Amino acid sequence: MTTRKLLLLPGDGIGPETTAQVEKLTALMNETVGAGFETETALVGGCAYDAEGAPISDATMGLAMASDAVLFGAVGGPKWDGVDYDKRPEAGLLRLRKDMELFANLRPAICYPALAGSSSLKREVIEGLDILILRELTGGVYFGEPKEIIDLGNGQKRAIDTQVYDTYEIERIARAAFDLARTRRGKVTSMEKRNVMKSGLYWNEVVTRIHREEYADLELEHMLADAGGMQLVRAPKQFDVIVTDNLFGDMLSDIAAMLTGSLGMLPSASLGAADEKTGTRRALYEPVHGSAPDIAGKGVANPLAMIASFAMCLRYSFQMVAEADALEGAVADVLESGVRTGDIMGEGCRQVGTEEMGDAVAARFRETLART
């Protein structure tokens, strides 16, 4: 029987609450379709710092490397605000991304029909929205050196972050964008700030060359990232795949989240390069949202971003396409039935908590799986 090794890293805040909803789904799939998920759980983020002195231990990194896929909840919170930069909860996530070489972060923003009225934008602006932000995840200002605060000795300090992109890093994220666009509507919008940044200028040059040499049949457009942010809220349906650097991708995907109704709706997949021999790739799946300290422990967090991240895991790590479709369909059906967490609550809908939303999706998923 196939075994599928999943490492669960629930993390801090609402992370454990949302991750628990995915465990219901793996158990259900083991029982009904013999999926063979073997799950293991480890600490990451602030809870790992408290228990093990580091936001991710070498042992947990080893588990991540040895698993078929990692499911990550969320990290961080005010409790760890004063902790040194290298030991902060977020550093655990950054190490996972860097050491697993997860350079391609797929952040799809889909507006479910039932939520078209939940966004702060007008219904006609977002109805039918289906765009994909592809964020470069292992380079740029997140990791560039030097990265430090130096004492200038005259009562002044200097804080430095460095934006760095090498040719190969831009080439591989550009190829990933075009490959994804080929499975969608064939259009890539590359966003940078070539008007002020050398890295933006070079990003633009490399993406243009990869398009010309390898993907000339697809459409490529360039947009300055600030104007791109504006276009995302003005007319988001003009986009198909947006490819952008690590920092712009972070910001633009939070903006895109609100097009879907709530940050609690946006999933993501962080993928490494496919192994040439086996075709397998390292992968980590995580919601775009954070640990939501304001609602943590209350049982009200929306688990749908986490559940949709698991659907991406089924699709990209395990090629379980029918099951991924069934799970996404179950989410759509539950929303259609008027079951809502507080963040996406609408008129005439029934408000539920995290557990109940997880149970509703699991029940619907069980029904659809039985029919496929």
Q: How far apart (Å, rounded) are the C-alpha atoms in residues 283 and 5?
A: 12
Backbone angles phi, psi at 184, to 5 degrees: -120, -125
Q: How far is the CB of 142 from ligand IPM (least distance, A)?
A: 7
Catalytic residue among 49, 112, 142, 165: 142
Binding string, residues 94-133; x marks residues near ligand IPM by CB under 6 A? x---------------------------------------
Cβ-Cβ contacts under 8 Å for 51 (sequence gap 6 or more): 43
What is the Cα–Cα distance from 270 to 97, expressed in whole angstroms?
A: 8
261, 154 Cβ separation under 8 angstroms: no
| Residue 41 parent element (H or E) | strand 37-41
Among 63, 93, 266, 284, interactor with ligand IPM by CB under 6 A: 93
363, 337 contact by CB (below 8 A): no
Q: Which of 17, 136, 192, 250 touches Mn ion by CB under 5 A? A: 250
- Binding residues for ligand NAD, per CB under 6 A? 14, 74-77, 90, 93, 263-264, 286, 289-295, 301-302, 305, 343
325 in active site: no
Nearest Cα residue to 239 out of 191, 271, 294, 197: 191
Q: Which helix (H) or strand (E) holds 38?
A: strand 37-41
Q: Is 106 helix (H, G, I), strand (E, B) or coil?
A: strand
Q: How far is CA 154 from CA 149, 151, 345, in A?
A: 14, 8, 54
Q: Which is nearer to ligand IPM, 84 or 124 (CB)?
A: 84
State the nearest-atom distance from the C-beta of 357 to Mn ion, in Å: 23
CB 366 within 8 A of CB 326: no
Span of 34-42, 88-96, 163-171, 206-214 interacting with ligand IPM by CB under 6 A: 88-96
Determine, following the binding rule CB under 6 A, whether residue 23 of this chain makes contact with ligand IPM.
no
CB of 16 to Mn ion, least distance (A): 20
Tell me whether residue 116 or residue 304 sits nearer to ligand NAD (CB atom).
304
- Bind-site residues: 77-90, 97, 107, 135, 226, 250, 254, 290-302
- Bind-site residues for Mg(2+): 226, 250, 254
- Bind-site residues for NAD(+): 77-90, 290-302
Catalytic residue positions?
142, 193, 226, 250, 254
